């Protein structure tokens, strides 16, 4: 692919010879770059882009292009923000949305019976604030409460503790140039990277979104359209009943349901979101418990349907098997072998995969000038991984062995 951007150059279109004539070319006209002769495709402009073309010379036909309608979201975008006692962060989230290069047409704050003035703060920004009669009990419930109010073609869900890169919406909307796409998500990195737990999560995200997520997108099956920042086609989301509360991981449930009903999901790494992650063990434990049980619940709920979805069935099977085996190894096998055999060097098994981790970490951190942060945060990742193993095995034991489902939604910050 040519390295230059289409709109940075002149164009040449044959059979146009009238001097100083403006031609409005729609999809039926396919202009070519004067330098590389490549046709400008929908990947660059979108199917409804209008090109304003000015003829510069009679015979040479150099044409200057200006983008007039880049966004395929010409039917509007509504953002839903579920918020329960988010007074400390909701202002930053709203401000981030209002400063986007593609500003949403409406922002709906679902003040889920907060007691800290979350709704009052949101109203000062001129957004729509709705409040259910009683607390909905979960983020999924709050988002689904607002979904019938959405009248635009597209809807986005974002957490009330999350901010976006200035062009995140503009980048994410490109995914919907494919009419088969029902949902799209972006790259996620913690907004704060200071404590042990935030640093562990930073490495976890940097590795996952630089490597795993991109491999999944290559095969057309991102495992999760992230709940903290995703965009949807409204009619598809409404047809599926919104965000279900039948598991603790509504984003995973919805993503896997989309695949089973023939829809596509995309991952756009250029669209970046920055949520606030748990900064201490108390909040991290709540989040890990919710995520672990949510994953196990979804495997239990969807396993038959996943058998019909190529690649995803393999990815979920590998992740499940790896998580169980790795967790058992970290918590029992490695320490017992080191103790019984009296060979402490066996404990190096906890960090044996450092070389495999470093390659994607460097690839993800270097362009962001965060190599030092990534390197200094690496030890925290190994701590978080062991803690993660505890919660995952507890979820497997509870959900699959004892058949006791955990459905209490606890905030992770």
Alpha helices for 82-154 (secondary structure H):
90-98, 118-123, 139-146
The reported pLDDT for the residue numbered 74 is 60
The domain of 384 spans: 71-413
Q: At 230, list the tokens.
A: 């995703």
- Which of 67, 86, 109 terminates a domain? The answer is 67
38 and 114, same domain (yes or no): no
Which of 262, 252, 69, 243 minimizes the C-alpha distance to 173? 69
The reported pLDDT for the residue numbered 410 is 87
Per-residue pLDDT of the chain (413 residues; tens, 9 = 90+): 444 433 333 333 333 333 333 333 333 333 334 333 334 333 333 333 333 333 333 333 333 333 333 444 566 999 999 999 999 999 999 999 999 999 999 999 999 999 999 999 999 999 999 999 999 999 999 999 999 999 999 999 999 999 999 999 999 999 999 999 999 999 999 999 999 999 999 999 999 999 999 999 999 999 999 999 999 999 999 999 999 999 999 999 999 999 999 999 999 999 999 999 999 999 999 999 999 999 999 999 999 999 999 999 999 999 999 999 999 999 999 999 999 999 999 999 999 999 999 999 999 999 999 999 999 999 999 999 999 999 999 999 999 999 999 999 987 66
The reported pLDDT for the residue numbered 314 is 95
* Strand, helix or coil for residue 65: strand
The reported pLDDT for the residue numbered 285 is 97
**Backbone angles phi and psi of 42, in degrees to 5:** -65, -20
In a domain, 1, yes or no: no
The reported pLDDT for the residue numbered 347 is 93
In a domain, 368, yes or no: yes
State the DSSP string of 308-369.
Answer: TSTTHHHHHHHHHHHHHHHHHIIIIIHHHHHHHTT-GGGGGGGGTTHHHHHHHHHHHHGGGT
Q: Total structural domains in the chain?
A: 2
Dump strand ranges (E) for 137-263: 154-158, 162-164, 181-188, 229-233
- Predicted TM-score (pTM) of this structure: 0.81
Cβ neighbors of 11 (< 8 A, separation 6 or more) are 31, 32, 33, 34, 40, 53, 62, 63, 64, 65
Distance CA 164, CA 158 (A): 9
Contact 141, 84 (CB under 8 A): no
197 and 178, same domain (yes or no): yes
345 and 366, same domain (yes or no): yes
State how far Cα 265 lies from the chain centre. 11
In a domain, 387, yes or no: yes
* Strand, helix or coil for residue 67: strand
């Amino acid at each position: 692919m040519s390295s230059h951007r289409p709109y940075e150059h002149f164009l040449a279109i044959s059979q146009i010879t009238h001097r100083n004539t403006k031609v409005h070319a729609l999809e039926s006209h396919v202009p070519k770059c004067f330098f590389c002769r490549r046709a400008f495709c929908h990947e660059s402009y979108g199917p409804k882009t209008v090109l304003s073309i000015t003829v510069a010379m009679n015979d040479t036909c150099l044409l200057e292009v200006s983008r007039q309608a880049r966004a395929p979201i010409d039917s509007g975008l509504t953002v839903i923000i579920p918020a329960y006692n988010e007074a400390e962060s909701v202002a930053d989230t709203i401000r981030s949305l209002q400063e986007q290069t593609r500003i949403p047409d409406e922002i709906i704050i679902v003040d889920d019976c907060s007691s800290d003035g979350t709704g009052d703060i949101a109203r000062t920004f001129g957004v729509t604030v709705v409040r259910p009669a009683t607390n909905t009990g979960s983020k999924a419930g709050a988002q689904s409460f607002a979904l019938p109010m959405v009248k635009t073609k597209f809807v986005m869900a974002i957490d009330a503790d999350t901010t976006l890169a200035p062009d995140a919406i503009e980048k994410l909307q490109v995914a919907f140039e494919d009419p088969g796409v029902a949902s799209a998500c972006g790259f996620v990195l913690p907004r704060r990277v200071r404590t042990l737990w935030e640093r562990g999560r930073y490495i976890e995200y940097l590795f996952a979104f630089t490597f795993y997520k991109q491999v999944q997108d290559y095969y057309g099956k991102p495992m999760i359209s992230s709940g903290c920042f995703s965009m949807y086609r409204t009619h598809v989301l409404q047809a599926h009943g919104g965000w279900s509360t039948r598991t603790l991981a509504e984003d995973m449930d919805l993503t896997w349901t989309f695949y089973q009903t023939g829809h596509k999901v995309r991952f756009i790494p250029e669209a970046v979101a920055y949520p606030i992650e748990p900064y201490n063990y108390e909040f991290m434990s709540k989040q890990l418990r919710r995520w672990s049980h949510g994953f196990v619940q979804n495997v239990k709920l969807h396993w038959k349907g996943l058998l019909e979805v190529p690649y995803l069935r393999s990815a979920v099977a590998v992740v499940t098997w790896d998580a169980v085996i790795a967790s058992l190894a970290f918590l029992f096998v490695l320490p017992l072998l080191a103790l019984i055999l009296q060979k402490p060097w066996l404990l190096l098994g906890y960090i044996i995969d450092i070389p495999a981790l470093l390659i994607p970490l460097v690839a993800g951190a270097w362009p962001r000038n965060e190599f030092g942060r990534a390197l200094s945060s690496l030890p925290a990742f190994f701590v978080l991984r062991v803690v993660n193993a505890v919660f995952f095995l507890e979820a497997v034991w509870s959900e699959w062995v004892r058949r006791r489902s955990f459905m209490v939604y606890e905030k992770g910050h």
